[in-house]
Amino acid sequence: MKNTNKISFVLDQKIVDIDFDLLSPTTTVLNYLRSGPFHRGVKEGCAEGDCGACTLALGELQEDGSIRYKAIDSCLVFLPQLHGKQLITVENLSSKAETIEQLHPVQKAMVESNGSQCGYCTPGIIMSLFALYKNENKPTRESIDDALTGNLCRCTGYKPIIEAASASCAHHSQDQFTLNEPAIAALLRQIQQLDDEKKLVHQNQVYFLPTRLRQAIRIRQSNPRALLISGSSDVALRVTKKHEVLPEILDISSLKDLKHFSISENAVTLGAGLSLEFIRTQVRDVLPALFDTLSVFGSRQIRNVATLGGNLGSASPIGDTLPILMAYGAAVVLYGPQGTREVLIKDFIVGYRKTVIKPDELIAAVIVPIPMDEMHIKWYKISKRKDLDISTVSGGFGLRVSDGVVSEIVLAYGGMAAQTKRADKTEAFLLGKPWSREVVEEAMLILYNEFEPLTDARASAEMRKISARNLLLKFWSETNTQKVVAS
Protein backbone atom coordinates (compact mmCIF):
# COMPACT_ATOMS: atom_id res chain seq x y z
CA MET A 1 0.00 0.00 0.00
CA LYS A 2 1.32 3.44 -0.93
CA ASN A 3 1.36 5.58 2.18
CA THR A 4 1.34 9.10 0.75
CA ASN A 5 -0.27 10.50 3.90
CA LYS A 6 -2.19 13.01 1.82
CA ILE A 7 -5.49 13.56 0.07
CA SER A 8 -6.34 15.65 -2.97
CA PHE A 9 -9.43 17.59 -3.92
CA VAL A 10 -10.40 20.53 -6.12
CA LEU A 11 -10.89 24.01 -4.66
CA ASP A 12 -10.78 27.32 -6.52
CA GLN A 13 -10.53 25.38 -9.82
CA LYS A 14 -7.22 23.73 -8.91
CA ILE A 15 -6.08 20.59 -7.15
CA VAL A 16 -5.29 21.03 -3.47
CA ASP A 17 -3.16 18.50 -1.57
CA ILE A 18 -3.54 18.12 2.19
CA ASP A 19 -0.68 16.50 4.09
CA PHE A 20 -1.55 15.01 7.47
CA ASP A 21 1.89 15.37 9.02
CA LEU A 22 0.61 18.66 10.46
CA LEU A 23 -3.18 18.25 10.38
CA SER A 24 -5.32 15.75 12.23
CA PRO A 25 -7.38 13.57 9.88
CA THR A 26 -10.44 14.32 12.04
CA THR A 27 -10.16 18.02 11.31
CA THR A 28 -13.54 19.07 9.98
CA VAL A 29 -13.87 20.82 6.63
CA LEU A 30 -15.34 23.79 8.50
CA ASN A 31 -12.32 24.20 10.77
CA TYR A 32 -9.90 23.70 7.88
CA LEU A 33 -11.48 26.54 5.90
CA ARG A 34 -11.87 28.85 8.90
CA SER A 35 -8.15 28.44 9.68
CA GLY A 36 -7.18 29.93 6.31
CA PRO A 37 -7.57 33.48 4.96
CA PHE A 38 -9.64 32.99 1.82
CA HIS A 39 -12.76 30.97 2.64
CA ARG A 40 -14.18 32.40 5.83
CA GLY A 41 -17.69 33.00 4.55
CA VAL A 42 -18.55 29.62 6.07
CA LYS A 43 -19.60 29.99 9.73
CA GLU A 44 -19.94 27.84 12.81
CA GLY A 45 -23.24 28.15 14.61
CA CYS A 46 -23.75 24.85 16.40
CA ALA A 47 -21.03 22.35 15.36
CA GLU A 48 -23.64 19.57 15.26
CA GLY A 49 -25.40 19.92 11.90
CA ASP A 50 -28.39 21.77 13.30
CA CYS A 51 -28.15 25.36 12.05
CA GLY A 52 -26.74 25.15 8.52
CA ALA A 53 -24.44 28.17 8.88
CA CYS A 54 -21.54 25.94 7.78
CA THR A 55 -23.27 24.63 4.64
CA LEU A 56 -20.97 24.09 1.66
CA ALA A 57 -21.37 22.20 -1.61
CA LEU A 58 -19.50 19.19 -2.93
CA GLY A 59 -19.17 18.31 -6.60
CA GLU A 60 -18.83 14.59 -7.28
CA LEU A 61 -17.78 13.11 -10.62
CA GLN A 62 -20.39 10.75 -12.07
CA GLU A 63 -19.81 7.78 -14.35
CA ASP A 64 -21.10 9.72 -17.38
CA GLY A 65 -18.53 12.47 -16.78
CA SER A 66 -20.94 15.00 -15.32
CA ILE A 67 -20.64 16.50 -11.86
CA ARG A 68 -23.36 16.11 -9.25
CA TYR A 69 -23.62 18.87 -6.67
CA LYS A 70 -24.89 18.46 -3.12
CA ALA A 71 -25.09 20.59 0.01
CA ILE A 72 -23.39 19.35 3.18
CA ASP A 73 -22.84 20.48 6.77
CA SER A 74 -19.08 21.05 6.79
CA CYS A 75 -18.96 20.75 10.59
CA LEU A 76 -19.79 17.03 10.26
CA VAL A 77 -17.38 16.10 7.47
CA PHE A 78 -13.75 15.12 8.07
CA LEU A 79 -11.09 16.35 5.64
CA PRO A 80 -10.24 12.89 4.17
CA GLN A 81 -13.82 12.63 2.93
CA LEU A 82 -13.06 15.42 0.45
CA HIS A 83 -10.64 13.19 -1.45
CA GLY A 84 -11.46 13.11 -5.16
CA LYS A 85 -14.24 15.72 -4.89
CA GLN A 86 -14.75 19.39 -5.69
CA LEU A 87 -15.25 21.70 -2.70
CA ILE A 88 -17.36 24.79 -3.39
CA THR A 89 -17.67 27.70 -0.96
CA VAL A 90 -19.69 30.90 -1.11
CA GLU A 91 -16.57 32.72 -2.32
CA ASN A 92 -16.62 30.57 -5.47
CA LEU A 93 -20.13 31.50 -6.60
CA SER A 94 -19.67 34.92 -8.14
CA SER A 95 -17.83 35.32 -11.44
CA LYS A 96 -16.02 38.14 -13.18
CA ALA A 97 -16.69 39.51 -16.63
CA GLU A 98 -13.60 41.56 -17.36
CA THR A 99 -13.32 43.63 -14.16
CA ILE A 100 -16.96 43.50 -13.12
CA GLU A 101 -18.00 40.95 -10.52
CA GLN A 102 -21.26 39.17 -11.32
CA LEU A 103 -23.29 37.54 -8.60
CA HIS A 104 -24.55 34.01 -9.05
CA PRO A 105 -28.32 33.88 -9.76
CA VAL A 106 -29.08 32.65 -6.23
CA GLN A 107 -27.01 35.49 -4.72
CA LYS A 108 -28.67 38.05 -6.97
CA ALA A 109 -32.13 36.75 -6.03
CA MET A 110 -31.32 36.98 -2.31
CA VAL A 111 -30.29 40.62 -2.74
CA GLU A 112 -33.37 41.50 -4.75
CA SER A 113 -35.74 39.79 -2.31
CA ASN A 114 -34.08 41.36 0.77
CA GLY A 115 -33.36 37.87 2.06
CA SER A 116 -30.55 38.79 4.43
CA GLN A 117 -30.17 40.94 7.54
CA CYS A 118 -27.28 40.20 9.91
CA GLY A 119 -25.74 37.92 7.29
CA TYR A 120 -24.30 35.31 9.66
CA CYS A 121 -26.49 32.51 8.32
CA THR A 122 -26.65 33.86 4.77
CA PRO A 123 -23.60 32.07 3.27
CA GLY A 124 -25.03 28.71 4.36
CA ILE A 125 -28.44 29.57 2.93
CA ILE A 126 -26.82 30.65 -0.33
CA MET A 127 -25.01 27.31 -0.59
CA SER A 128 -28.24 25.36 0.00
CA LEU A 129 -29.91 27.42 -2.72
CA PHE A 130 -26.92 26.83 -5.01
CA ALA A 131 -27.30 23.05 -4.67
CA LEU A 132 -31.04 23.39 -5.32
CA TYR A 133 -30.33 25.55 -8.36
CA LYS A 134 -27.95 22.97 -9.81
CA ASN A 135 -30.24 20.00 -9.25
CA GLU A 136 -33.82 21.13 -9.81
CA ASN A 137 -35.56 23.22 -12.43
CA LYS A 138 -38.64 25.01 -11.09
CA PRO A 139 -38.63 23.21 -7.73
CA THR A 140 -41.91 22.80 -5.89
CA ARG A 141 -42.58 24.64 -2.64
CA GLU A 142 -42.21 21.27 -0.91
CA SER A 143 -38.73 20.84 -2.34
CA ILE A 144 -37.71 24.41 -1.53
CA ASP A 145 -38.84 23.98 2.07
CA ASP A 146 -36.92 20.70 2.30
CA ALA A 147 -33.76 22.26 0.84
CA LEU A 148 -33.92 25.02 3.49
CA THR A 149 -34.95 22.87 6.45
CA GLY A 150 -31.34 22.59 7.59
CA ASN A 151 -30.76 26.36 7.57
CA LEU A 152 -31.88 28.42 10.54
CA CYS A 153 -32.35 32.18 10.18
CA ARG A 154 -33.14 34.20 13.28
CA CYS A 155 -33.38 37.65 11.66
CA THR A 156 -34.99 37.79 8.27
CA GLY A 157 -37.79 35.27 8.33
CA TYR A 158 -38.11 32.71 5.60
CA LYS A 159 -40.57 34.35 3.20
CA PRO A 160 -38.01 36.43 1.26
CA ILE A 161 -35.57 33.51 1.25
CA ILE A 162 -38.22 31.22 -0.23
CA GLU A 163 -39.02 33.93 -2.77
CA ALA A 164 -35.33 34.04 -3.71
CA ALA A 165 -35.33 30.28 -4.20
CA SER A 166 -38.40 30.38 -6.42
CA ALA A 167 -37.06 33.25 -8.51
CA SER A 168 -33.52 31.98 -9.02
CA CYS A 169 -34.48 28.37 -9.75
CA ALA A 170 -37.44 29.18 -11.99
CA HIS A 171 -35.33 28.63 -15.11
CA HIS A 172 -32.24 26.45 -14.99
CA SER A 173 -29.85 28.70 -16.86
CA GLN A 174 -26.19 27.89 -17.17
CA ASP A 175 -23.68 29.33 -14.74
CA GLN A 176 -19.90 29.36 -14.61
CA PHE A 177 -19.92 25.89 -13.03
CA THR A 178 -21.67 24.50 -16.07
CA LEU A 179 -19.09 26.09 -18.36
CA ASN A 180 -16.15 24.92 -16.21
CA GLU A 181 -17.47 21.42 -15.65
CA PRO A 182 -15.31 19.68 -18.32
CA ALA A 183 -12.14 21.21 -16.84
CA ILE A 184 -13.13 20.31 -13.27
CA ALA A 185 -14.05 16.79 -14.36
CA ALA A 186 -10.59 16.42 -15.91
CA LEU A 187 -8.98 17.44 -12.60
CA LEU A 188 -11.11 14.95 -10.67
CA ARG A 189 -10.20 12.18 -13.11
CA GLN A 190 -6.54 13.09 -12.64
CA ILE A 191 -6.90 12.52 -8.90
CA GLN A 192 -8.77 9.24 -9.39
CA GLN A 193 -6.16 7.87 -11.81
CA LEU A 194 -3.58 8.02 -9.03
CA ASP A 195 -6.00 6.68 -6.44
CA ASP A 196 -5.08 3.94 -4.03
CA GLU A 197 -6.06 3.02 -0.51
CA LYS A 198 -4.69 5.49 1.98
CA LYS A 199 -3.36 5.26 5.51
CA LEU A 200 -3.27 8.77 6.92
CA VAL A 201 -1.10 9.04 10.04
CA HIS A 202 -0.91 11.98 12.40
CA GLN A 203 0.74 11.68 15.84
CA ASN A 204 -1.44 9.18 17.73
CA GLN A 205 -4.12 8.90 15.04
CA VAL A 206 -4.46 6.69 11.97
CA TYR A 207 -7.19 7.07 9.37
CA PHE A 208 -7.74 4.32 6.81
CA LEU A 209 -9.40 5.25 3.50
CA PRO A 210 -9.76 2.13 1.31
CA THR A 211 -11.11 2.18 -2.23
CA ARG A 212 -12.20 -1.47 -2.50
CA LEU A 213 -14.34 -3.69 -0.33
CA ARG A 214 -11.68 -6.38 0.06
CA GLN A 215 -9.21 -3.76 1.26
CA ALA A 216 -11.71 -2.62 3.89
CA ILE A 217 -12.20 -6.18 5.15
CA ARG A 218 -8.44 -6.72 5.38
CA ILE A 219 -8.01 -3.48 7.32
CA ARG A 220 -10.92 -4.40 9.58
CA GLN A 221 -9.32 -7.78 10.34
CA SER A 222 -5.94 -6.28 11.23
CA ASN A 223 -7.35 -3.26 13.07
CA PRO A 224 -10.35 -4.53 15.05
CA ARG A 225 -10.50 -1.42 17.25
CA ALA A 226 -10.81 0.97 14.31
CA LEU A 227 -13.98 3.04 14.45
CA LEU A 228 -16.07 2.42 11.34
CA ILE A 229 -17.57 5.44 9.58
CA SER A 230 -19.43 5.85 6.32
CA GLY A 231 -20.85 9.36 6.44
CA SER A 232 -19.54 10.56 9.85
CA SER A 233 -22.71 12.58 10.56
CA ASP A 234 -22.96 10.81 13.92
CA VAL A 235 -19.32 10.11 14.81
CA ALA A 236 -18.23 13.68 14.03
CA LEU A 237 -20.15 14.88 17.09
CA ARG A 238 -17.64 13.04 19.27
CA VAL A 239 -15.00 15.39 17.86
CA THR A 240 -16.96 18.65 17.59
CA LYS A 241 -18.96 18.41 20.83
CA LYS A 242 -17.02 16.04 23.09
CA HIS A 243 -13.57 16.96 21.75
CA GLU A 244 -12.47 13.35 21.62
CA VAL A 245 -9.30 12.23 19.87
CA LEU A 246 -10.28 9.18 17.83
CA PRO A 247 -7.17 6.98 17.54
CA GLU A 248 -8.23 4.67 14.68
CA ILE A 249 -10.83 5.25 11.96
CA LEU A 250 -11.80 3.06 9.02
CA ASP A 251 -13.64 5.27 6.53
CA ILE A 252 -15.61 3.22 3.97
CA SER A 253 -17.33 6.18 2.32
CA SER A 254 -15.31 5.74 -0.91
CA LEU A 255 -16.32 2.10 -1.52
CA LYS A 256 -18.27 2.01 -4.77
CA ASP A 257 -19.17 -1.63 -4.06
CA LEU A 258 -21.50 -0.36 -1.32
CA LYS A 259 -23.35 2.14 -3.51
CA HIS A 260 -25.42 -0.07 -5.78
CA PHE A 261 -29.16 0.38 -6.17
CA SER A 262 -31.60 -1.90 -7.96
CA ILE A 263 -35.31 -2.66 -8.16
CA SER A 264 -36.58 -6.09 -9.09
CA GLU A 265 -40.12 -7.39 -9.31
CA ASN A 266 -40.16 -8.35 -5.64
CA ALA A 267 -37.57 -6.25 -3.82
CA VAL A 268 -35.44 -3.12 -3.69
CA THR A 269 -31.73 -3.58 -2.97
CA LEU A 270 -30.09 -0.63 -1.24
CA GLY A 271 -26.31 -0.48 -1.00
CA ALA A 272 -25.17 0.30 2.53
CA GLY A 273 -23.03 3.17 1.27
CA LEU A 274 -25.87 5.00 -0.46
CA SER A 275 -26.73 8.35 1.04
CA LEU A 276 -30.13 8.61 2.67
CA GLU A 277 -31.01 11.48 0.35
CA PHE A 278 -30.30 9.39 -2.74
CA ILE A 279 -32.45 6.57 -1.36
CA ARG A 280 -35.24 9.01 -0.55
CA THR A 281 -35.36 10.30 -4.11
CA GLN A 282 -35.52 6.77 -5.55
CA VAL A 283 -38.13 5.03 -3.38
CA ARG A 284 -41.04 7.48 -3.30
CA ASP A 285 -43.29 5.33 -5.49
CA VAL A 286 -42.09 1.84 -4.64
CA LEU A 287 -41.54 2.17 -0.85
CA PRO A 288 -43.61 5.23 0.14
CA ALA A 289 -43.39 4.65 3.90
CA LEU A 290 -39.59 4.62 3.70
CA PHE A 291 -39.79 7.85 1.70
CA ASP A 292 -41.91 9.38 4.48
CA THR A 293 -39.33 8.26 7.05
CA LEU A 294 -36.39 9.77 5.23
CA SER A 295 -38.24 13.01 4.46
CA VAL A 296 -38.04 13.98 8.14
CA PHE A 297 -34.64 12.42 8.78
CA GLY A 298 -32.36 15.33 9.67
CA SER A 299 -31.92 17.89 6.92
CA ARG A 300 -30.99 17.54 3.27
CA GLN A 301 -27.39 18.44 4.16
CA ILE A 302 -27.25 15.59 6.68
CA ARG A 303 -29.01 13.11 4.39
CA ASN A 304 -26.47 13.91 1.67
CA VAL A 305 -23.69 12.37 3.78
CA ALA A 306 -25.50 10.00 6.16
CA THR A 307 -25.78 6.44 4.84
CA LEU A 308 -28.18 3.60 5.40
CA GLY A 309 -25.41 1.31 6.60
CA GLY A 310 -24.23 3.90 9.08
CA ASN A 311 -27.70 4.40 10.51
CA LEU A 312 -28.24 0.66 10.92
CA GLY A 313 -24.74 -0.04 12.20
CA SER A 314 -25.07 2.50 15.00
CA ALA A 315 -27.93 0.35 16.35
CA SER A 316 -29.41 3.37 18.10
CA PRO A 317 -32.67 2.62 19.93
CA ILE A 318 -34.06 5.83 18.42
CA GLY A 319 -32.68 5.32 14.91
CA ASP A 320 -35.37 6.25 12.40
CA THR A 321 -34.80 3.60 9.74
CA LEU A 322 -34.92 0.47 11.89
CA PRO A 323 -38.67 0.46 12.76
CA ILE A 324 -39.80 1.02 9.18
CA LEU A 325 -37.40 -1.59 7.80
CA MET A 326 -38.82 -4.05 10.33
CA ALA A 327 -42.30 -3.24 9.09
CA TYR A 328 -41.19 -3.98 5.54
CA GLY A 329 -39.56 -7.26 6.62
CA ALA A 330 -36.16 -6.20 5.29
CA ALA A 331 -32.94 -8.21 5.46
CA VAL A 332 -29.39 -6.99 6.03
CA VAL A 333 -26.63 -8.34 3.80
CA LEU A 334 -23.32 -8.72 5.64
CA TYR A 335 -19.99 -9.15 3.85
CA GLY A 336 -16.87 -10.74 5.33
CA PRO A 337 -13.90 -12.93 4.42
CA GLN A 338 -16.20 -15.91 3.85
CA GLY A 339 -18.55 -14.01 1.54
CA THR A 340 -22.04 -12.71 2.23
CA ARG A 341 -24.83 -13.72 4.56
CA GLU A 342 -28.33 -12.36 5.10
CA VAL A 343 -29.91 -11.55 8.45
CA LEU A 344 -33.52 -10.47 8.87
CA ILE A 345 -33.68 -6.97 10.26
CA LYS A 346 -35.73 -8.21 13.23
CA ASP A 347 -32.76 -10.39 14.26
CA PHE A 348 -30.06 -7.83 13.44
CA ILE A 349 -30.14 -5.86 16.73
CA VAL A 350 -29.34 -7.96 19.81
CA GLY A 351 -28.97 -5.30 22.54
CA TYR A 352 -28.22 -1.67 23.27
CA ARG A 353 -26.14 -0.56 20.29
CA LYS A 354 -25.21 -4.19 19.62
CA THR A 355 -25.70 -6.08 16.36
CA VAL A 356 -24.89 -9.51 14.95
CA ILE A 357 -22.08 -8.06 12.82
CA LYS A 358 -18.86 -10.01 13.33
CA PRO A 359 -15.60 -8.13 13.91
CA ASP A 360 -14.47 -8.86 10.34
CA GLU A 361 -17.79 -8.03 8.60
CA LEU A 362 -19.37 -4.94 7.06
CA ILE A 363 -22.95 -4.11 6.14
CA ALA A 364 -23.03 -4.46 2.37
CA ALA A 365 -26.69 -3.86 1.53
CA VAL A 366 -30.29 -3.98 2.69
CA ILE A 367 -32.93 -5.92 0.76
CA VAL A 368 -36.43 -4.52 1.19
CA PRO A 369 -39.35 -6.63 -0.10
CA ILE A 370 -41.90 -4.68 -2.12
CA PRO A 371 -45.20 -5.09 -0.24
CA MET A 372 -48.13 -6.73 -1.93
CA ASP A 373 -51.12 -4.48 -2.48
CA GLU A 374 -52.97 -5.85 0.52
CA MET A 375 -50.05 -5.12 2.90
CA HIS A 376 -50.35 -1.67 4.48
CA ILE A 377 -47.17 -0.05 5.79
CA LYS A 378 -47.07 3.14 7.87
CA TRP A 379 -44.39 5.05 9.74
CA TYR A 380 -44.83 7.58 12.56
CA LYS A 381 -42.44 9.84 14.43
CA ILE A 382 -43.03 11.80 17.60
CA SER A 383 -40.49 14.54 18.25
CA LYS A 384 -40.43 18.08 19.57
CA ARG A 385 -39.95 19.44 16.06
CA LYS A 386 -41.27 18.09 12.78
CA ASP A 387 -37.95 18.46 10.97
CA LEU A 388 -34.34 18.05 11.99
CA ASP A 389 -35.03 16.37 15.30
CA ILE A 390 -34.33 13.05 16.97
CA SER A 391 -37.27 10.75 17.62
CA THR A 392 -38.82 10.56 21.05
CA VAL A 393 -40.94 7.62 19.92
CA SER A 394 -41.22 6.18 16.43
CA GLY A 395 -43.21 3.33 14.96
CA GLY A 396 -43.03 1.22 11.83
CA PHE A 397 -46.29 -0.68 11.36
CA GLY A 398 -47.39 -3.30 8.86
CA LEU A 399 -50.86 -4.84 8.46
CA ARG A 400 -52.62 -7.38 6.30
CA VAL A 401 -56.30 -8.16 6.82
CA SER A 402 -57.80 -11.29 5.24
CA ASP A 403 -61.50 -12.19 5.43
CA GLY A 404 -62.03 -9.46 7.99
CA VAL A 405 -59.36 -10.58 10.47
CA VAL A 406 -55.72 -9.67 10.99
CA SER A 407 -53.54 -12.17 9.13
CA GLU A 408 -50.25 -10.30 9.55
CA ILE A 409 -49.22 -7.52 11.91
CA VAL A 410 -45.91 -5.78 12.66
CA LEU A 411 -45.65 -3.16 15.41
CA ALA A 412 -42.00 -2.06 15.60
CA TYR A 413 -41.10 0.74 17.99
CA GLY A 414 -38.10 2.98 18.50
CA GLY A 415 -37.49 4.85 21.74
CA MET A 416 -39.38 2.32 23.87
CA ALA A 417 -36.53 0.01 24.91
CA ALA A 418 -32.76 -0.38 24.79
CA GLN A 419 -33.16 -1.38 21.16
CA THR A 420 -35.70 -1.05 18.38
CA LYS A 421 -38.22 -3.73 19.26
CA ARG A 422 -41.45 -5.27 18.09
CA ALA A 423 -44.46 -5.41 20.41
CA ASP A 424 -44.64 -9.20 20.38
CA LYS A 425 -47.44 -9.60 22.93
CA THR A 426 -49.64 -7.02 21.25
CA GLU A 427 -49.02 -8.55 17.84
CA ALA A 428 -49.92 -12.00 19.15
CA PHE A 429 -53.16 -10.66 20.62
CA LEU A 430 -54.21 -8.98 17.36
CA LEU A 431 -53.47 -11.94 15.07
CA GLY A 432 -56.65 -13.69 13.97
CA LYS A 433 -58.93 -11.02 15.43
CA PRO A 434 -61.12 -8.46 13.62
CA TRP A 435 -59.38 -5.17 12.80
CA SER A 436 -61.95 -3.19 14.75
CA ARG A 437 -61.73 -0.31 17.17
CA GLU A 438 -62.95 -2.47 20.05
CA VAL A 439 -60.19 -5.01 19.47
CA VAL A 440 -57.55 -2.31 18.96
CA GLU A 441 -58.52 -0.61 22.23
CA GLU A 442 -58.01 -3.91 24.03
CA ALA A 443 -54.63 -4.23 22.32
CA MET A 444 -53.71 -0.73 23.47
CA LEU A 445 -53.97 -1.85 27.09
CA ILE A 446 -51.56 -4.70 26.39
CA LEU A 447 -49.21 -2.39 24.52
CA TYR A 448 -49.18 0.15 27.33
CA ASN A 449 -47.72 -2.46 29.68
CA GLU A 450 -45.47 -4.24 27.16
CA PHE A 451 -42.57 -1.75 27.29
CA GLU A 452 -40.67 -0.16 30.17
CA PRO A 453 -39.08 2.89 28.52
CA LEU A 454 -36.73 5.33 30.19
CA THR A 455 -37.40 8.85 31.34
CA ASP A 456 -34.86 11.24 29.83
CA ALA A 457 -34.49 14.78 28.52
CA ARG A 458 -36.85 14.14 25.62
CA ALA A 459 -39.80 12.60 27.45
CA SER A 460 -40.97 10.76 30.52
CA ALA A 461 -41.55 7.02 30.49
CA GLU A 462 -45.28 7.66 30.93
CA MET A 463 -45.40 9.96 27.92
CA ARG A 464 -43.66 7.32 25.80
CA LYS A 465 -46.07 4.57 26.90
CA ILE A 466 -49.09 6.75 26.12
CA SER A 467 -47.61 7.79 22.78
CA ALA A 468 -46.89 4.22 21.73
CA ARG A 469 -50.42 3.21 22.65
CA ASN A 470 -51.97 6.13 20.80
CA LEU A 471 -49.92 5.49 17.66
CA LEU A 472 -51.61 2.10 17.40
CA LEU A 473 -55.01 3.81 17.51
CA LYS A 474 -53.84 6.29 14.87
CA PHE A 475 -52.72 3.38 12.68
CA TRP A 476 -56.12 1.76 13.05
CA SER A 477 -57.88 5.05 12.25
CA GLU A 478 -55.88 5.66 9.09
CA THR A 479 -56.12 2.10 7.80
CA ASN A 480 -59.82 1.95 8.68
CA THR A 481 -60.37 5.10 6.63
CA GLN A 482 -58.67 3.33 3.75
CA LYS A 483 -61.17 0.45 4.12
CA VAL A 484 -58.43 -2.11 4.88
CA VAL A 485 -61.02 -4.47 6.33
CA ALA A 486 -62.66 -4.74 2.93
CA SER A 487 -59.43 -6.17 1.53
What's 105-174's CATH class?
A: mainly alpha
pLDDT bracket for residue 2 (50, 70, 90): low
Can you list the positions of beta strands (E) in 289-404? 331-336, 339-344, 349-351, 354-355, 362-369, 375-382, 393-402
pLDDT surpassing 70 at residue 328: yes
- Main-chain phi, psi angles of 351, to 5 degrees: 175, -175
In the chain, what percentage of residues exceed pLDDT 70? 98
pLDDT tens-digit readout, 153-171: 988 889 999 999 999 998 7
Count of CB atoms within 10 A of residue 467's CB?
A: 21
**Tens of pLDDT along 256-294?**
999 999 999 999 999 999 999 999 999 999 999 999 999
* 284-320 pLDDT tens trace: 999 999 999 999 999 999 999 999 999 999 999 999 9
pLDDT band at 247 (very low <50, low <70, confident <90, very high): very high
Q: How confident is the model at residue 1 (pLDDT cuts 50, 70, 90)?
A: very low
**pLDDT tens-place string over residues 206-234:** 999 999 999 999 999 999 999 999 988 99
**pLDDT at residue 484 tops 60:** no
pLDDT at 172: 77
User: Amino acid identity, residue 91?
Assistant: E
Confidence of residue 184 (pLDDT cuts 50, 70, 90): very high
Burial of residue 282 (CB within 10 Å: 0-12, 13-18, 19+) is middle
What are residue 170's phi and psi, to 5 degrees?
Answer: -70, -30
Note the pLDDT of residue 403: 92
Q: For 486, phi and psi rounded to 5 degrees? A: -70, -20
Q: For 378-486, which CATH class? A: alpha beta
Torsion angle (degrees, nearest 10) of CA 188, 139, 387, 411 = -90
Q: What is the pLDDT of residue 161?
A: 96
H/E stretch holding 8 reads: strand 6-11
Give the CA radius of gyration of the chain. Answer: 24
Per-residue pLDDT reduced to its tens digit, 33-52: 999 999 999 999 999 999 99
Per-residue pLDDT tens for 103-120? 999 999 999 999 999 999
User: Could you give the CA distance from residue 182 to residue 314 in angstroms, rounded to a whole number?
Assistant: 39
Per CATH, 257-369 and 378-486 having the same topology is answered no
pLDDT at 486 over 50: no
Residue 482 pLDDT level (bands cut at 50, 70, 90) = low
Contact 131, 71 (CB under 8 A): yes
d(CA 332, CA 363): 7
What is the dotted CATH code of the domain comprising 257-369?
Answer: 3.30.465.10
Q: Would you say 8 and 16 are in contact if contact means Cβ atoms under 8 Å apart?
A: yes
Tell which CATH architecture fits domain 6-91+178-251: Roll (3.10)
Q: Give the pLDDT confidence of 378-409 residue by residue, as tens digits.
A: 999 999 988 889 999 999 999 999 999 999 99
pLDDT given for residue 483 in this prediction? 60
Residue 487 has a pLDDT of: 44
**Percentage of the residues of the chain whose pLDDT score is greater than 90:** 90
| Mean pLDDT computed over every residue of the chain | 94
Fill in the amino acid letter for 171.
H
Digit-coded pLDDT (tens) for 62-72 = 999 999 999 99
Residue 315 main-chain phi, psi, to 5 deg: 55, 35
**pLDDT value at 441 more than 80:** yes
**How many Cα atoms within 13 Å fall on the side-chain side of residue 215?**
19
Domain-wise residue ranges, the chain: 6-91+178-251, 105-174, 257-369, 378-486
| 129: nearest Cα among 181, 67, 52 | 52
